[in-house]
Amino acid sequence: MAIDESAAVPQTASAETAPAAGAKQEQLAPYRVDKTGTRLTTDQGIPVDDTDNSLKAGPRGPSLLEDFHLREKIMRFDHERIPERVVHARGSAAHGYFQPYGDGLAAFTAARFLTDPSVRTPVFVRFSTVQGSRGSTDTPRDVRGFATKFYTDEGNFDLVGNNMPVFFIQDGIKFPDLVHALKPEPQHEMPQAASAHDTFWDFVSLQPETMHHLIWLMSDRALPRSYRTMQGFGVHTFRLVNADGQTTFVKFHWTPTAGVHSLVWDEAQKISGKDPDFNRRDLWESIEAGVYPEYELGVQLIPEQDEFAFDDLDLLDATKIVPEERVPVTPVGRMVLDRNPDNFFAETEQVAFCVGNIVPGIDFTDDPLLQARLFSYLDTQLTRLGGPNFAQIPINRPVAPVRHHQQDGFHQDDIPLGQANYHPNSTGGGCPYVPGVGSFPEAFTHRPELVDGHKARKRAESFADHYGQAMLFWNSMSAWEREHIVAAYRFELGKVAYPHIRQRVVAELNRIDNTLATAVAAGIGVDPPAAVSVNDGRNSPALSQADQPKAGIAGRKVALLAADGVAATSVAGLKDFLEANDAVLEVLGPVDGVLRTAEGGILPVTRAMNTVSSVLYDAVAVPDGDEAVSRLIGDGLALHFVAEAYKHAKPLAVLGTGDRMVEAARLPVYTTSDRVEGVSSKPIAAALDGVVFLAAGAPVDERFTTDLFDAIAAHRHYDRPVDGIAA
Ligand code: HDE
């Protein structure tokens, strides 16, 4: 086929297309390859005129080895896969930037990217699940990774955190055991992307230091609604180092500006089948729609002299938090993710986070979990990315200049010039030069720390408590959060085949709280625990999701169920209201196409109802219009949609005669006898647990939109009596 040469465009895309912070995007631009309008060639640039037929001796004869195009095409295909990450294999990523609010941290750190409000540092953030393989689902009960690469002017800083502030184990030497127990079992590679199985519960019940992280895992934190609505934590205690070399302990926190929201477990399981890419899609679509995920960076600062000021925790123990009520979180800056990657493999798969990548102004502590990570991340990239030059892969290249005498190895992309590949040298003018310790203020200086101790495989006494903070977490939960936690333990343990493992977990839970252990035991057929009370009653309100501030409704997805005869006026009002708040309305019809409205017009259908499900939406609306409502009441799919959304505690918008649907779905919230002169006599949304009514025939008004905004912003309404709902 002839090609239109005039349609050919330069090989590189313009960085102009990128809203994300400049320096990194400019660096990536020459690597981007645009195939539009180009000819097909081999790897050697030789033009090819047929890529559908191999070279043969006669049309029915054998293929010929001299067919370099066939050989190259098959060879390249054979080697497309690289080893997936040994943990956190499934991930999604985005570009963006970080900017500090002011210079408030200048007294604590020399890191410019944290203290100069005029500096916008490019970032690349990868979110992940831990247990599943690359092709697994987004919504198992699991920890989520939250890894940020800051391309600072002083080099790359990788903050490789999770969405939970603690970790299962205290010492990195236990990590292979933990991961073996957590991952699918060796004999049959089951279960995929799930934690509910014998080896995991066997291990954790024999390793009590896991108890704190475990209760986080049984909470709704393990089921984030979206990567936009989950927190992130650096987990370990790090140090900030100021220009005078003084250090302050620091814990890093990311807080999403869209609020902290979760799925419910039944919903998460259904999503795994309906849309395994649920979180990935949400991240991608939000950025494409300009609803950029945003997170505030906060720090807990602890003066160096207070290292031993906590009698119930050790700052070096990653199974402990420092409660926010004791050391508040100070907001210091904002991260915005505003550009999707261009290529999944080149960027999201090849990004290599290394916990050891830190910049001047930040330093490590002796946390034994952190220390093992310093080795592991560097080491794992050698296998995963095929050699020691992985920092040259475009996504991993710092924007800061790189000059050293390291050389050769697989995939060396640079062409170092000159004779000098050693230090000291005179053949290269002594370059790259090393000015000498202390003569170069920007250089990274390891904190001069006195280290004194006898070699021993030991754990500090200050790491001994494994239950106090699990108790703190349990005590801080609202009633519905506790219900979810008990249900999660029951579900997970209910899948454990060995009764003695179930019993052992209950015994461990009894060391946290007797009501928790008793409630779990009652659901899994094991003996109730001994009635001892160990609970000291302490709590930390900051730990409850119920207490997190509610943000707006940007990025929320609302499904409107519709059919022929739908009243279009209130639908238009609803759509305008949602779009004005950066939320999305999708019209679901019985089939694709358009619907006839009650007013005689047409309403385009966004999707056919059978291709989606209530679990893929944040809220559901039912329309006004007698004919449409009668049709929907006759459709089991529509009735199930409404009942399921109600059961999953989602907001419902009920327009006019759509209230008949609420009644037909047998929701314990409303009957048409509640109507007074056609208008719902029910009070405002809050009193109705997130079900918001509009009078029949009425246009969408401010009272309705105010209530609906609050109902959607709250995200879920867990006080509903849902046990009897058949969904
Ligand atoms: Fe990781 N972890 N980890 N981890 N981790 C990896 O590195 C490891 C730990 C975390 O999006 C691996 O490049 C050890 C804590 C995230 O690419 C590996 C220990 C926290 C990611 C590794 C820990 C994390 C990883 C696998 C105990 C939260 C995904 C592939 C000493 C603070 C990064 C890779 C991405 C990935 C080792 C514990 C978070 C094998 C040995 C604690 C977010 O190096």
What is the Cα–Cα distance from 555 to 582, expressed in whole angstroms?
6
pLDDT at 684 over 90: no
| Ligand 1 first shell, C-beta below 6 A | 85-88, 91, 126, 128, 145, 147, 160-162, 167, 172, 175, 235, 318, 353, 369, 372-373, 376-377, 380
- Give the residue, by CA position, lying nearest to ligand 1 atom 20: 161
Å from CA of 170 to ligand 1 middle: 14
Å from CA of 160 to ligand 1 middle: 7
Rounded to the nearest angstrom, the gap between the alpha carbon of residue 674 and the centroid of all alpha carbons in its chain is: 43
In angstroms, what CA-CA distances link 257 with 64, 96, 231, 371, 555?
Answer: 61, 15, 10, 32, 12
- Give the residue, by CA position, lying nearest to ligand 1 atom 7: 377
Query: Catalytic site residue 95?
Result: no
Ligand 1 atom nearest the C-alpha of 160 is 43
Identify the weakest region by mean pLDDT among 151-160, 350-359, 529-538, 575-584: 529-538
Å from CA of 424 to ligand 1 middle: 37
Ligand 1 atom nearest the C-alpha of 376 is 44
Identify the weakest region by mean pLDDT among 12-21, 310-319, 586-595: 12-21
Q: What is the pLDDT of residues 188-206, one digit of tens each?
A: 999 998 888 999 999 999 9
- Give the residue, by CA position, lying nearest to ligand 1 atom 27: 172
**Residue 4 CB coordination number (10 Å):** 7
pLDDT band at 680 (very low <50, low <70, confident <90, very high): low
Q: Which of 69, 95, 156, 162 is catalytic?
A: 162
- What burial class does residue 724 get, using C-beta atoms within 10 Å of its C-beta: 0-12 exposed, 13-18 middle, 19+ buried? exposed
What is the Cα–Cα distance from 481 to 392, expressed in whole angstroms?
46
Is beta strand 602-604 parallel, antiparallel or unpaired with respect to 594-596? antiparallel
Ligand 1 atom nearest the C-alpha of 91 is 11
What is the Cα–Cα distance from 671 to 123, expressed in whole angstroms?
52
pLDDT at 13 over 60: no
Task: List all residues 6 or more positions away from 321 whose beta carbon is below 8 Å from its beta carbon.
Answer: 165, 166, 251, 313, 469, 540
Identify the weakest region by mean pLDDT among 99-108, 291-300, 351-360, 540-549: 540-549
Identify the weakest region by mean pLDDT among 98-112, 146-160, 369-383, 444-458: 444-458
pLDDT at 681 over 60: no
- What burial class does residue 176 get, using C-beta atoms within 10 Å of its C-beta: 0-12 exposed, 13-18 middle, 19+ buried? exposed
Ligand 1 atom nearest the C-alpha of 171 is 31
Q: Contact 120/362 with Cβ under 8 angstroms?
A: no
Mutate to test the pocket of ligand 1, among 85, 146, 169, 177 (most ligand atoms within 8 A of CB): 85
In this predicted structure, what is the pLDDT of residue 365?
Answer: 97
Give me the domains of the chain, ranges plus CATH numbers: 84-172+224-396 (2.40.180.10), 467-547 (1.20.1370.20), 557-713 (3.40.50.880)
- Give the residue, by CA position, lying nearest to ligand 1 atom 16: 145
- Give the residue, by CA position, lying nearest to ligand 1 atom 11: 126
pLDDT at 498 over 80: yes
Å from CA of 354 to ligand 1 middle: 9
What SS3 string covers 8-35?
A: CCCCCCCHHHCCCCHHHHHHHHHHCCCC
pLDDT band at 672 (very low <50, low <70, confident <90, very high): low
- Give the residue, by CA position, lying nearest to ligand 1 atom 43: 145
The H-assigned helical ranges of 84-127 are: 112-115
What is the Cα–Cα distance from 226 to 263, expressed in whole angstroms?
9
The amino acid at 260: V
Please compute the mean of the pLDDT values over residues 421-430 and round it to a whole number: 96
pLDDT at 5 over 50: no
List, in sequence order, every beta strand (DSSP E) within 340-491.
362-363
Å from CA of 463 to ligand 1 middle: 22
Ligand 1 atom nearest the C-alpha of 126 is 11
Mutate to test the pocket of ligand 1, among 86, 87, 354 (most ligand atoms within 8 A of CB): 87
In this predicted structure, what is the pLDDT of residue 3?
Answer: 41
pLDDT band at 677 (very low <50, low <70, confident <90, very high): low
Q: What is the pLDDT of residues 273-283, one digit of tens each?
A: 999 999 999 99
pLDDT at 683 over 50: no
Supply the mean pLDDT for the chain.
Answer: 93
Q: What is the pLDDT of residues 466-487, one digit of tens each?
A: 999 999 999 999 999 999 999 9
- Give the residue, by CA position, lying nearest to ligand 1 atom 42: 167
Q: What is the pLDDT of residues 553-605, one digit of tens each?
A: 999 999 999 999 999 999 999 999 999 999 999 999 999 999 999 999 999 99
What is the Cα–Cα distance from 488 to 217, expressed in whole angstroms?
9
Query: Catalytic site residue 88?
Result: yes
Q: Contact 162/373 with Cβ under 8 angstroms?
A: no
Task: Work out the widest C-alpha separation in the chain, in whole angstroms.
Answer: 95
Considering only CA atoms, which of 245, 235, 237 is closest in space to residue 308? 237
In this predicted structure, what is the pLDDT of residue 440?
Answer: 83
Å from CA of 105 to ligand 1 middle: 28
Considering only residues 355 and 695, tell me which one the structure prediction assigns the higher pLDDT.
355
Ligand 1 atom nearest the C-alpha of 85 is 30
Å from CA of 91 to ligand 1 middle: 13
Range among 12-16, 90-94, 698-702 rated most confident: 90-94
- Give the residue, by CA position, lying nearest to ligand 1 atom 25: 88
Q: Which of 88, 95, 212, 648 is catalytic?
A: 88
Å from CA of 405 to ligand 1 middle: 29
Q: What is the pLDDT of residues 515-536, one digit of tens each?
A: 999 999 999 999 999 988 899 9
- What burial class does residue 472 get, using C-beta atoms within 10 Å of its C-beta: 0-12 exposed, 13-18 middle, 19+ buried? buried
- Give the residue, by CA position, lying nearest to ligand 1 atom 32: 161
Cross-strand bridge partners of residue 253:
233, 298
Mutate to test the pocket of ligand 1, among 84, 88, 183, 357 (most ligand atoms within 8 A of CB): 88
Mutate to test the pocket of ligand 1, among 84, 86, 160, 320 (most ligand atoms within 8 A of CB): 160
Q: What is the pLDDT of residues 119-151, one digit of tens each?
A: 999 999 999 999 999 999 999 999 999 999 999
Backbone angles phi and psi of 146, in degrees to 5: -145, 85
In angstroms, what CA-CA distances link 689 with 245, 649, 692, 712?
Answer: 54, 8, 9, 11
Å from CA of 377 to ligand 1 middle: 7
Å from CA of 379 to ligand 1 middle: 11
DSSP result, 320-335: ----TTTSPPEEEEEE
The H-assigned helical ranges of 183-277 are: 198-206, 211-217, 265-274
Provide, rounded to the nearest whole percent, the portion of the chain with pLDDT above 70: 95
Mutate to test the pocket of ligand 1, among 376, 382, 390 (most ligand atoms within 8 A of CB): 376
Buried b (16+ CB within 10 A) or exposed e, 36-58: eeeeeeeeeeeeeeeeeeeeeee
Identify the weakest region by mean pLDDT among 307-321, 551-565, 572-586, 680-694: 680-694
In this predicted structure, what is the pLDDT of residue 698?
Answer: 85
Residues in the chain: 727
- What burial class does residue 697 get, using C-beta atoms within 10 Å of its C-beta: 0-12 exposed, 13-18 middle, 19+ buried? middle
pLDDT at 670 over 90: no
pLDDT at 289 over 90: yes
In this predicted structure, what is the pLDDT of residue 7?
Answer: 39
pLDDT at 505 over 80: yes
Cross-strand bridge partners of residue 679:
676
Ligand 1 atom nearest the C-alpha of 234 is 32
Which SS3 state, helix, strand or coil, does residue 6 take? helix
Buried b (16+ CB within 10 A) or exposed e, 570-601: bbbbbbebbeebebbbbbbbbeeeebbbbeee
Identify the weakest region by mean pLDDT among 11-20, 59-68, 357-366, 429-438: 11-20
Å from CA of 180 to ligand 1 middle: 14
